[in-house]
């Protein structure tokens, strides 16, 4: 995997190269190794801080060009605020801030991974390294020329000066696998739909075989045999045939029930016969953000050799409006045998998930299932772009997901389920209809999905506001965010992986 930033670890006493990045608290105090590296530039830093009203607050940086008394070409001082209140996510952001100071072209940077009271912990240093790589990601493979003022390619070598270089390198091998998973998910979401259609998506997911992931690809004929009429109905209007991909990582005990993750993979969504307005329809190339996350997560778990059995399943379709397309008023039969009246062909993601959830529940009998889907615009109205919507039939799983969201920074917010909402999707012609109307749209979508989990502990994450087009952050400048990979890796690591 190509990377704009190559990260290495060196001892704290190593000589600085290129841009020098240091950390200080609100009193402008730096650690002992940092003070030694700065030498006479300590006073320069304080004078510059005074001139710029820099107070060392967390997330604020002071940039000094050609610092007198240092061989470094630039000195960047990043404020930490009160070090006692720092959390791992803060160090991710610090890494992102450092990466933001790198300009196009070749560059070298040395980061003193030290707080005023001494060397950062291995976890903190690794978080900085992860933040660097996440921030430096850029998707520009289809640009053949740059406009005036547009930055070109970045190729940087960054050395983190740490207390224990060997330990940090070992820890980053695992954390780096998670970063790679996020980058894979971002690439998938950012790809144009004429490049990434169901068959190509399935091919890319199949590359995980190189890491020891077992892959099964179900074509249309196989899905017809299984009775997956809900998923196939969505894709029947497209010239691109649908696919379902089942990925298995067997890192746990033999015979132990797996944990399962299911992703919506609508590679392009026109809305079908219930066609969407033209404005921003191009964004519907990202309607496979849930499937992208699952592929990125499976990469992360396999690459770091997670000690857990995992199933990842993605339903891949295009929702197109040709003469063979599904119509409002059609009734389809799902793999579960339940019938569904199609009210709106733009409520298609839940139809895809219905069959894949049932398949996973019945065929793999997991400990739990988490599905991810860019499912409803209503969730963006309700929660904006800072939290994904979470719905669950299991309090323990919901609580663990919430905690993993806080730890990873990929936050979730639980919304209700209940019989009052469920009755809104009852149909007079079939077992259910695929939309319950405008009110509570995200909730009735989740109620629909719950009918296909067969009692398995389950959570649904509506990531329409977080997987694509979300505001840029210190660790993400990409349209496709890769949301969910770090969240679910944290969930697995904290609660389900054999220690």
Q: Give the active site residues.
A: 276, 350
Handedness of CA 153, 298, 269, 271 (dihedral sign): negative
Residues in the chain: 499
Chain centroid, CA 173 distance in Å:
19
What are the structure tokens assigned to 426, written together? 């009852």
Q: How far apart are CA 427 and CA 443, in angstroms?
A: 17
Q: What residue spans of 207-258 are helical by DSSP H?
A: 220-226, 229-235
What are the structure tokens assigned to 10, written together? 């060196």
Handedness of CA 410, 413, 419, 421 (dihedral sign): negative
Chain centroid, CA 255 distance in Å:
29
- 417 to each of 219, 389, 441, how far by Cα in Å? 34, 12, 12
Relative to beta strand 61-65, strand 74-79 is antiparallel
What residue ranges in 69-134 does DSSP mark as E strands?
Answer: 74-79, 105-112, 114-115, 118-119
Q: How far apart are CA 222 and CA 66, in angstroms?
A: 65
The secondary structure of 33-83 as a DSSP string is HHHHHHTTHHHHHHHHHHHTT----TT-EEEEES-TT-SSSEEEEEE-S-G
The secondary structure of 336-403 as a DSSP string is TS-EEE-S-TT--HHHHHHHHHHHHHHHH--S-EEEEE---THHHHHHTTTSEEEEES-HHHHHHHHH
Q: How far apart are CA 100 and CA 79, in angstroms?
A: 15
* Cross-strand bridge partners of residue 74: 19, 65
Nearest one of 246, 247, 290 to 266, comparing CA atoms: 290
Asked if residue 423 lies in contact with residue 447, where contact means CB atoms within 8 angstroms, the answer is no
DSSP designation for 246: E
Nearest one of 427, 412, 424, 495 to 461, comparing CA atoms: 412
Backbone angles phi, psi at 236, to 5 degrees: -70, -15
């Amino acid at each position: 995997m190509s990377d704009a930033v190559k990260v290495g670890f060196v001892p704290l006493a190593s000589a600085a190269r290129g841009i020098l990045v240091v950390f200080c608290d609100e009193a402008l105090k730096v650690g002992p190794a940092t003070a030694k590296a700065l030498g006479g530039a300590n006073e320069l830093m304080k004078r510059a801080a005074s001139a710029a009203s820099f107070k060392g607050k967390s997330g604020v940086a002071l940039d000094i060009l050609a610092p007198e008394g240092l061989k470094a070409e630039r000195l960047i001082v990043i404020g930490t605020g009160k070090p006692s209140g720092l959390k791992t996510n803060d160090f991710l952001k610090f890494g992102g801030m450092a990466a933001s100071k790198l300009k196009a072209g070749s560059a070298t940077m040395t980061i003193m991974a030290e707080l005023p009271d001494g060397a950062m912990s291995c976890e903190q240093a690794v978080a900085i390294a992860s933040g660097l790589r996440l921030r430096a990601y850029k998707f520009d493979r289809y640009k053949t020329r740059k406009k005036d003022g547009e930055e070109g390619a970045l190729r940087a070598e960054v050395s983190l000066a740490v207390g224990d270089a060997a330990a940090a390198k070992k820890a980053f091998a695992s954390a780096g696998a998670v970063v790679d998973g996020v980058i894979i998910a971002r690439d998938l979401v950012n790809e144009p739909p004429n490049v990434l259609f169901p068959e190509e998506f399935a091919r890319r997911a199949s590359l995980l075989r190189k890491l020891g992931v077992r892959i099964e690809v179900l074509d249309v004929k196989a899905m017809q045999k299984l009775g997956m009429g809900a998923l196939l109905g969505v894709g029947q209007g497209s010239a691109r045939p649908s696919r379902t991909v089942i990925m298995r990582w067997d890192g746990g005990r033999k015979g132990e029930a797996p944990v399962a993750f299911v992703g919506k993979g609508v590679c392009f969504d026109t809305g079908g016969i219930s066609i969407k307005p033209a404005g921003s329809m191009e964004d519907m190339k990202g309607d496979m953000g849930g499937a992208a996350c699952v592929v990125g997560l499976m990469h992360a778990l396999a690459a770091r050799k997670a000690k857990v059995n995992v199933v990842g399943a993605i339903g891949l379709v295009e929702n197109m409006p040709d003469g063979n397309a599904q119509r409002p008023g059609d009734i389809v039969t799902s793999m579960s045998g339940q019938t569904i009246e199609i009210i709106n062909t733009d409520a298609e993601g839940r139809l895809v998930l219905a069959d894949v959830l049932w398949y996973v529940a019945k065929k793999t009998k997991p400990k739990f299932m988490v599905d991810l889907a860019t499912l409803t615009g209503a969730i963006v109205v309700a929660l904006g772009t800072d939290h994904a919507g979470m719905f669950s039939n299991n309090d323990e799983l919901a609580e663990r997901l919430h905690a993993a969201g806080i730890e990873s920074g990929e936050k979730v917010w639980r919304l209700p389920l209940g019989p009052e909402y469920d009755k809104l999707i009852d149909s007079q012609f079939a077992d259910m209809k695929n939309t319950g109307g405008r009110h509570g749209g995200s909730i009735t979508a989740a109620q629909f999905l719950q009918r296909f989990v067969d009692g398995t502990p389950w959570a649904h994450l509506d990531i329409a506001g977080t997987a694509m087009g979300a505001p840029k952050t210190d660790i993400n400048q990409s349209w496709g965010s890769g949301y969910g990979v770090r969240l679910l890796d944290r969930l697995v690591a904290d609660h389900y992986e054999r220690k």
